[in-house]
Amino acid sequence: MKPPFIPDDAPFTGDQKSWLAGFLAGLQSAKQMADQKNASLAATAGQVAPRLDILYGSQTGNAEGIAMDAANVARSQGFNPVVQGMDDVSIEDFAQMEKVIFSVATYGEGEMPDNAELFWQSLSASDMPKLPDMKFGVLALGDTGYDEFCQAGKLIDMRLEQLGATRLVDRVDCDVDFEDMAEEWINTTIPLANDGDAVATAIPLQAESAVVKSIWNRKNPYPATVTKNLLLSAEGSAKEIRHFEIDLGDSDLSYEVGDALNVMPVNDAGLVKSLLAYFSLSADTVLEGQERTLGELLTYKYEISTPSKELIAAVEKIADHDAFSHVFKNGDKEALADFLWAKDILDLLQLTEKVSFTADEFLGLLKPLQHRAYSISSSVNKHPGSVHLTVAAVRWSYESRQHLGVCSTFLADRVAEGDKAGIFISTNKSFRIPADDAAPMIMVGPGTGIAPFRAFLEERQVRQATGPNWLFFGDQTREFDFIYQDELTAMQEQGVLTRLDLAFSRDQAEKIYVQHKMKQHGAELFSWLEQGGYFYVCGDATRMARDVDQALADVIAQHGTMNTEKATDYVNNLKREKRYLRDVY
Ligand SMILES: Cc1cc2nc3c(=O)[nH]c(=O)nc-3n(C[C@H](O)[C@H](O)[C@H](O)COP(=O)(O)OP(=O)(O)OC[C@H]3O[C@@H](n4cnc5c(N)ncnc54)[C@H](O)[C@@H]3O)c2cc1C
Ligand SMILES: NC(=O)c1ccc[n+]([C@@H]2O[C@H](COP(=O)([O-])OP(=O)(O)OC[C@H]3O[C@@H](n4cnc5c(N)ncnc54)[C@H](OP(=O)(O)O)[C@@H]3O)[C@@H](O)[C@H]2O)c1
Ligand SMILES: Cc1cc2nc3c(=O)[nH]c(=O)nc-3n(C[C@H](O)[C@H](O)[C@H](O)COP(=O)(O)O)c2cc1C
């Protein structure tokens, strides 16, 4: 294992000076927020501040945070901002709105976030009334790594135009580095919403406190100490699932069950070395215009494993590789994904002898190295000052070279107990245990999907919640993959885990998955829902969560004696009541 390190030019130093600077910045922003709120109160003192609706579609809090920032700016400019999640607004109320701005992320493969899905169903319906009196603006959040970049925002923007609403401003599509663009968009859009009826006037500070954002964020992660790195899956498993415990130290960070922890990885030294060898350059080379050595840039700054769209296109252009060019040019995304599957950046550089870039050109084709999110698997009330993760190490072999998932193997291999890792928290307000401690919880979490449910059970245990808890868990084999078995058994004995149904897919000839267990116990599952139960799903989005969604509808149709349409209404109602919640990836 390598010794712990925090690079000098990493985005944090962890020393007191930087902490103090961050703390002061936090105080300053708190004061700014309070000033803005007071300005809006001033506006309302003399006249009624005009309403500005701010709607967000968000899963991990980025779009929601932007909505809150927009509200603060709007207040400072004399508006009465009303911020709501998109599914919290009825389509009838929406149709009455005059000025609306949206901050919306994209999920799945170009889909709406879970908290915007029902809104979108109504907005896109053929009987949606026209909106000639509405003025709107859309800020779309996404990631250019996905095929359908910012698709949710694009759809909303297009649909509102179709319905006759007027754009206040052109839509802006933000990539993962969204903060600066979002700020600029807010500062441009809000004044455009002002018809002259919003007037800001300063009045003295009120006692009401402003919300202070954590100083630890994507650009300034907290250097936390990893205190435990344990292998959960048994020796002999095809998987490598690990349990991590991370000390929150003096960060002041806290979390609620349902939140995610983001980890800022450092690239694998072996891959950096291979890339340097490919370019025949040494690690201490400093390229013109760069302040850091090439070795540092490849280690800390750039994503050097998953190829960016720009790199893929640039390689295709020069590679003279028939099969690649065929799938690249014919527009068949699945065929292109199949061709690219398992190939990392180095594989593309080595595709044919014709592929050749200077190191400068190469850096220009890379994306910045990003954090990865992990569902928190602990309750801070059971483990004060500590946060736990349940992580599957991603490793595969292609053309006899071992390939490593950047962050999961950073945690698994390159952070020893006692080492530091940069972290920050994403709150996920839409993935919480029921406020009512007596409400039943049904949790479906195969594989690493168990993570937040370990946290939910711990939290319910600490709260001495009386509501029954039912977990559907599974993985490949009982012998090797029954992670947290001892804890789950203890929770069953203590009466915290009321029911545990297990689906080990490879212990028999036929696959058995969690959805098969749901159907097998469908009558009881339906009766838990009828008693006000909450239904949660976590884990693989593309296969498992889709099949579980279908199984849920099937169970409701069969045991509630409903046709497909009625069962869909029942599921939609669960979503509306925030009793069907997902954390899928
Ligand atoms: C909200 C949220 C919560 C999450 N919670 C968890 C969690 O609790 N636990 C957890 O383990 N993960 C979780 N994830 C996933 C996690 O964020 C990372 O995506 C995961 O750890 C992989 O990241 P990586 O950097 O190791 O791999 P990357 O370097 O990002 O590589 C991943 C890529 O490797 C390729 N790949 C993967 N497997 C293979 C294979 N067998 N063969 C060929 N190619 C392959 C695929 O192209 C894949 O996209 C969560 C994600 C989100 C968004
Ligand atoms: N998109 C992909 O192709 C793919 C593949 C693997 C992992 N992943 C991702 O890898 C990460 C970690 O995965 P993980 O190790 O936590 O678990 P996982 O790969 O999701 O596996 C957990 C269990 O789910 C089963 N499973 C497979 N398909 C299923 C389906 N359609 N419905 C229900 N269960 C199904 C698996 O069975 P079997 O393995 O026996 O089929 C296994 O028993 C996640 O991010 C996941 O999304 C993605
Ligand atoms: C599982 C998953 C799927 C995603 N799918 C897309 C996508 O199809 N298109 C896109 O542009 N961005 C996609 N994104 C990126 C998110 O839209 C982006 O990270 C956004 O900032 C999240 O905002 P939020 O925190 O408000 O949810 C996806 C992210 C995740 C975690």
Of residues 264 and 208, more confidently modeled: 264
In percent, the amount of the chain with pLDDT more than 70 equals: 90
Pocket test for ligand 1, best of 394, 424, 431 (most atoms within 8 A of CB): 394
Residue 178: pLDDT band with limits 50, 70, 90: very high
CA of 27 relative to ligand 1 center, distance in Å: 36
Please enumerate in sequence order all residues whose Cβ is within 8 A of that of 163, keeping only pairs 6 or more positions apart, or say none. 128, 129, 130, 131, 134
| Joined tokens for residue 212 | 């202070």
Pocket test for ligand 2, best of 540, 549, 550, 552 (most atoms within 8 A of CB): 540
Residue in the block written with tokens 């070395």: 273
Phi-psi region of 331 (alpha: psi -120 to 50; beta: other; left: phi over 0): left
Round the average pLDDT of the chain to a whole number and report it: 91
What is the C-alpha to C-alpha distance for residues 220 and 371, in angstroms, rounded to an integer? 11
Measured at the CA of 458, the angle between CA 454 and CA 459, to 5 degrees, comes to 120
Contact by Cβ (8 Å): 384, 459: no
What is the C-alpha to C-alpha distance for residues 390 and 416, in angstroms, rounded to an integer? 16
Among the listed residues 554, 569, 566, the one whose alpha carbon sits nearest the alpha carbon of residue 523: 554
Phi-psi region of 78 (alpha: psi -120 to 50; beta: other; left: phi over 0): left
The residue contributing the CA closest to ligand 2 atom 4 is 540
Residue 211: pLDDT band with limits 50, 70, 90: very low
pLDDT over threshold 70, residue 440 = yes
In this predicted model, what pLDDT tens digit does every residue of 285-296 receive, in sequence order?
999 999 999 999
* Burial label, 101 (beta-carbon count in 10 A; 0-12, 13-18, 19+): buried
Q: Per-residue pLDDT averaged across 432-448, rounded?
A: 98
* Burial label, 308 (beta-carbon count in 10 A; 0-12, 13-18, 19+): middle
Ligand 3 within 6 A of 149 CB? yes
What is the C-alpha to C-alpha distance for residues 57 and 107, in angstroms, rounded to an integer? 10
In this predicted model, what pLDDT tens digit does every residue of 44-95 receive, in sequence order?
455 789 999 999 999 988 999 999 999 999 999 999 999 999 999 999 999 9
Ligand 3 within 6 A of 450 CB? no
- pLDDT recorded at residue 198: 81
pLDDT over threshold 50, residue 343 = yes
What is the C-alpha to C-alpha distance for residues 73 and 193, in angstroms, rounded to an integer? 12
CA of 542 relative to ligand 2 center, distance in Å: 9
- pLDDT recorded at residue 201: 60
CA of 409 relative to ligand 1 center, distance in Å: 10
In this predicted model, what pLDDT tens digit does every residue of 323-340 receive, in sequence order?
999 999 998 899 999 999
Identify any residues that bridge with 172 across adjacent strands, giving them in sequence order: 139
What is the C-alpha to C-alpha distance for residues 368 and 514, in angstroms, rounded to an integer? 37
Among the listed residues 87, 83, 82, the one whose alpha carbon sits nearest the alpha carbon of residue 59: 87
Ligand 1 within 6 A of 251 CB? no
Please state the separation of Cα 194 from the chain's center in Å: 33
- pLDDT recorded at residue 22: 45
The residue contributing the CA closest to ligand 1 atom 49 is 306
SS3 60: coil
Biggest alpha carbon–alpha carbon distance for the chain: 75
Among the listed residues 278, 310, 314, 305, the one whose alpha carbon sits nearest the alpha carbon of residue 294: 278
Ligand 3 within 6 A of 192 CB? no
**Burial per residue of 372-383, b for 16 or more beta-carbon CB atoms within 10 angstroms, e otherwise:** bbbbbbbbbeee
Ligand 2 within 6 A of 545 CB? no
| Joined tokens for residue 284 | 């201490």
Ligand 2 within 6 A of 396 CB? no
Ligand 3 within 6 A of 62 CB? yes
What is the C-alpha to C-alpha distance for residues 187 and 66, in angstroms, rounded to an integer? 12
Domains and CATH numbers, the chain: 1-19+216-265+371-428 (2.40.30.10), 26-192 (3.40.50.360), 268-368 (1.20.990.10), 441-584 (3.40.50.80)
Please name which ligand lies nearest the alpha carbon of 60: 3
Please state the separation of Cα 117 from the chain's center in Å: 16
Identify any residues that bridge with 174 across adjacent strands, giving them in sequence order: 141
Ligand 2 within 6 A of 543 CB? yes
- pLDDT recorded at residue 27: 45
The residue contributing the CA closest to ligand 3 atom 2 is 107
- pLDDT recorded at residue 344: 98
Q: Per-residue pLDDT averaged across 513-535, rounded?
A: 98
In this predicted model, what pLDDT tens digit does every residue of 531-574 receive, in sequence order?
999 999 999 999 999 999 999 999 999 999 999 999 999 999 99
The residue contributing the CA closest to ligand 2 atom 19 is 447
What is the C-alpha to C-alpha distance for residues 193 and 462, in angstroms, rounded to an integer? 48
Please name which ligand lies nearest the alpha carbon of 476: 2
SS3 83: strand
Residue 263: pLDDT band with limits 50, 70, 90: very high
| Joined tokens for residue 310 | 């720009």
Phi, psi of 67 (to 5 degrees): -60, -40
Contact by Cβ (8 Å): 492, 461: no
Identify any residues that bridge with 398 across adjacent strands, giving them in sequence order: 401
CA of 58 relative to ligand 2 center, distance in Å: 24
Give the number of residues written for the chain.
585
Contact by Cβ (8 Å): 287, 361: no
Q: Per-residue pLDDT averaged across 508-523, rounded?
A: 98
Please name which ligand lies nearest the alpha carbon of 179: 3
Please name which ligand lies nearest the alpha carbon of 140: 3
Ligand 1 within 6 A of 305 CB? yes
Measured at the CA of 571, the angle between CA 565 and CA 573, to 5 degrees, comes to 105
In percent, the amount of the chain with pLDDT more than 90 equals: 87
First-residue to last-residue Cα distance in the chain: 30
pLDDT over threshold 90, residue 31 = no
The residue contributing the CA closest to ligand 2 atom 1 is 542
Ligand 3 within 6 A of 404 CB? no
- pLDDT recorded at residue 206: 39
- pLDDT recorded at residue 197: 84
Of residues 22 and 172, more confidently modeled: 172
- pLDDT recorded at residue 207: 36
pLDDT over threshold 50, residue 360 = yes
Ligand 2 within 6 A of 447 CB? yes
In this predicted model, what pLDDT tens digit does every residue of 127-148 receive, in sequence order?
999 999 999 999 999 999 999 9
pLDDT over threshold 50, residue 493 = yes
Residue 373: pLDDT band with limits 50, 70, 90: very high
Please name which ligand lies nearest the alpha carbon of 445: 2
What is the C-alpha to C-alpha distance for residues 114 and 59, in angstroms, rounded to an integer? 7
pLDDT over threshold 90, residue 162 = yes
CA of 190 relative to ligand 3 center, distance in Å: 25
What is the C-alpha to C-alpha distance for residues 345 and 69, in angstroms, rounded to an integer? 37
Contact by Cβ (8 Å): 398, 462: no
Please enumerate in sequence order all residues whose Cβ is within 8 A of that of 117, keeping only pairs 6 or more positions apart, or say none. 87, 111, 575
Ligand 2 within 6 A of 584 CB? no
CA of 246 relative to ligand 3 center, distance in Å: 26
The residue contributing the CA closest to ligand 1 atom 45 is 342
pLDDT over threshold 80, residue 520 = yes
Residue 300: pLDDT band with limits 50, 70, 90: very high
Please name which ligand lies nearest the alpha carbon of 239: 2
Contact by Cβ (8 Å): 316, 327: no
The pTM is what? 0.91
Residue 422: pLDDT band with limits 50, 70, 90: very high
Pocket test for ligand 1, best of 147, 231, 585 (most atoms within 8 A of CB): 585
DSSP 516: H
What is the C-alpha to C-alpha distance for residues 480 and 458, in angstroms, rounded to an integer? 24
What is the C-alpha to C-alpha distance for residues 346 and 303, in angstroms, rounded to an integer? 12
Ligand 1 within 6 A of 380 CB? no
The residue contributing the CA closest to ligand 3 atom 5 is 107
Helix 451-463 crosses helix 485-493 at what angle (to 10 degrees)? 30
Pocket test for ligand 1, best of 259, 374, 376 (most atoms within 8 A of CB): 374
Residue 41: pLDDT band with limits 50, 70, 90: low
In this predicted model, what pLDDT tens digit does every residue of 301-315 receive, in sequence order?
999 999 999 999 999
Amino acid code (one letter) for 382: K
